[in-house]
Amino acid sequence: MEVKQTAVEWLVEDLIERDLIKKDDYIKSFVNSSFEKAKQMEKQQIIDAFEQGEYTGRGFEDLTSEEYYNINFKSE
């Protein structure tokens, strides 16, 4: 299964490609910590949506919300 890219991951990659994120260590450190916080928030939103949604008939019946996220979105 292809791993999907979250909106937060896409945004950071796009900012880097456009050279809108500086390579300076301080800024890079700040951006990385903000990026990680945003990724955690987005992960929780995906998990919450999975738990609240109807997912029968799509092959997800036997998965926990955490497993669903890891299969579809975890890029590590």
Q: DSSP label at 4?
A: P
Residue 3: what pLDDT? 73
pLDDT confidence of residue 7? 86
Q: Are 8 and 75 in contact (CB under 8 A)?
A: no
CA distances from 42 to 2, 20, 46, 48, 75 (A): 19, 22, 6, 10, 14
Question: Domain for residue 1, yes or no?
Answer: no
Residue 57, domain member (yes or no)? yes
Enter the pTM of the model. 0.54
Which is more confidently placed, 2 or 6? 6
- What are the pLDDT digits (tens) for 22-71? 656 656 777 778 888 888 898 898 888 888 776 555 666 677 888 888 88
In a domain, 17, yes or no: yes
User: How many structural domains comprise the chain?
Assistant: 1
Q: What is the extent of the structural domain holding 29?
A: 7-72
pLDDT number for residue 55 = 56
Supply φ then ψ for residue 60, to 5 degrees. Answer: -110, 5
2 assigned to some structural domain: no
